[in-house]
């Protein structure tokens, strides 16, 4: 009897949820990169700009809170915020309550850019997820369960 190529209980990659998620994620990211190209934004830049716009209207955002809200690690958040600041899309100012922290605010140019980009991002999402559109609420429920499970494991 021939020894299997890998010590796995699966008959192949098509049975691996992780492998399929990897493929889906890569395909989705390729489409999002293409959609964001006209706005000269990477996907991480868009996510942080949109997160800062959304949550910045509700609270004074620090870089740490921006990282928490977006799910982007603190080091990457720091690098991307610097890039967004250099592009004039966000500003760092003195935090009103914490003299050690900086408040991250979205500039008017940043708001204009993210408002235009979100239309393209949402259109790209709709097109990408169209084959499973009838199951969108179920899919969102599954995603929420996975996100919540990941948060609990930290």
Q: Is residue 32 part of a domain?
A: no
Q: What is the pTM of this model?
A: 0.87
| Any domain includes 78 | yes
Asked whether the predicted pLDDT for residue 151 surpasses 80, the reply is: no
Q: Are 44 and 80 in contact (CB under 8 A)?
A: yes
Q: What is the CATH number of the domain that holds 101?
A: 1.10.10.10
Q: Please indicate, yes or no, if residue 151 is contained in any of the structural domains.
A: no
pLDDT over 70 at 1, yes or no: no
Residue 91 within a domain: yes
Which of the two residues, 39 and 96, has the higher pLDDT score? 39
* Position 4 pLDDT exceeds 80: no
DSSP state of 135: G
Residue 149: pLDDT band with limits 50, 70, 90: confident
Decide if 16 is inside a domain.
no
The radius of gyration of the chain from alpha carbons, rounded to an integer in Å, stands at 19
What is residue 154's predicted lDDT score, i.e. its pLDDT? 63
Span 47-60, pLDDT tens digits: 999 999 999 888 99
Cα 149 to chain centroid distance, Å, stands at: 18
Assigned domain for 70 exists = yes
22 pLDDT tier (thresholds 50, 70, 90): very high
Containing structural domain, residue 113? 40-129
Residue 122 included in any domain: yes
35 and 118 Cβ atoms separated by less than 8 Å: no
Residue 59 C-beta-side C-alpha neighbours within 13 Å? 9
What is the residue-averaged pLDDT of the chain? 91
- Is 112 a member of any domain? yes
Q: Please tell me the total count of domains within the chain.
A: 1
Per-residue pLDDT of 63-106, as tens digits, reads 999 999 999 999 999 999 999 999 999 999 988 888 888 899 99
Q: Report the b/e string of 96-117 with b at 16+ CB within 10 A.
A: eeeeebbbbbbeeebbebbeeb
The residue that leads in pLDDT, 152 or 27, is 27
Burial of 84 (0-12, 13-18, 19+ CB in 10 A): buried
């Amino acid at each position: 009897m021939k020894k299997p190529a890998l010590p796995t209980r699966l008959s192949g990659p098509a049975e691996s949820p992780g492998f399929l998620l990897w493929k889906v994620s890569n395909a989705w990211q390729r489409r999002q990169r293409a959609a964001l190209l006209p706005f000269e934004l990477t996907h991480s830049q868009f996510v942080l700009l949109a997160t800062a716009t959304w949550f910045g209207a509700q609270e004074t955002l620090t870089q740490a809170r921006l990282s928490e809200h977006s799910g982007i690690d603190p080091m990457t958040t720091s690098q991307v915020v610097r890039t967004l600041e250099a592009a004039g899309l966000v500003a760092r100012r003195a935090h009103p309550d914490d003299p050690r922290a900086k408040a991250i605010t979205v500039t008017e140019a940043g708001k204009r850019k993210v408002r235009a980009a979100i239309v393209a991002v949402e259109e790209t999402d709709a097109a990408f997820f169209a084959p499973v559109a009838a199951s969108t609420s179920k899919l969102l429920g599954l995603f929420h369960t996975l996100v919540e499970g990941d948060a609990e494991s930290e």
